[in-house]
Amino acid sequence: MKFKQLVLASHNAGKLKELQAMLGDAVQLRSIGEFSQVEPDETGLSFVENAILKARNAARISGLPALADDSGLAVDYLGGAPGIYSARYANGKGDAANNAKLLDALKAVPEAERGAQFVCVLALVRHADDPLPILCEGLWHGRILHAASGDHGFGYDPLFWVPERDCSSAELSPSEKNLLSHRARAMAILRQRLSLEHE
């Protein structure tokens, strides 16, 4: 199963760069932005449903096999919220507003109850009506800090404490993050599925 090109169902340049670095040179990742600026409605109730929905939409628009990433932050104390609504947690007002809302929601919560995980589901469809999407899930466990720390990354990275590195996700170098993150874990599974390791 070899793909020379995949269209990524995202307009996020940071995500495109991150996933291309993880995929390596064997596959060229193109942005859906080359084909359309319209975002599909994410009507699913899970990361899996939304990833498949986005991948099918990208394949339909581009005519290429498509890869979609649906990811977010699931905080234990909040019953898994913000979850699939992570990017629009603060009504679409951006990363800073999302982070502020999360800190507010957890302001009285003690250290031991601030566990969280970044979740990534990758869905790859060969064509828009593919009955057997390839699904890969990655989880990255940590906890939520009381204040932002670090300048790298995006989204909730400044609030996400990485126990194995004793720092926030936003304090990791991009190359370190690309080894540890939820996307890295999901992508490692996808690379195995696509047999890219030995090319």
Q: Which domains does the chain have, with CATH numbers?
A: 5-194 (3.90.950.10)
Catalytic residue among 25, 41, 69, 70: 70
Give the pLDDT score at 77. Answer: 98
Residues listed for the chain: 199
What pLDDT, on a 0 to 100 scale, did the predictor assign at position 175? 86
Q: State residue 199's pLDDT score.
A: 45
List Cβ neighbours of 47 (8 Å cut-off, separation of 6 or more). 70, 71, 72, 83, 84, 119, 120, 121, 137
- Let me know the angle formed at the C-alpha of 120 by 114 and 44, rounded to the nearest 5 degrees: 100
70 is an active site residue: yes
Please give the helix or strand (H or E) that residue 167 lies within, else none: strand 167-168
Q: Which parts of the chain have pLDDT scores under 70?
A: 1, 196-199
Quick: pLDDT tens for 18-71. 889 888 888 899 999 999 988 888 889 999 999 999 999 999 999 999 999 999
Per-residue confidence (pLDDT) for residue 99, from 0 to 100: 97
Residue pair 138/186 in contact (Cβ under 8 Å)? The answer is yes
Cα–Cα distance between 57 and 130 in angstroms, integer?
12
Handedness of CA 176, 124, 38, 26 (dihedral sign): positive
pLDDT for 34: 94
**pTM of the complete model:** 0.90
On the question of a cis peptide bond just before residue 82, with omega within 30 degrees of 0, the verdict is yes
pLDDT at 49: 97
What does the block give as tokens for 19?
Answer: 């996933």
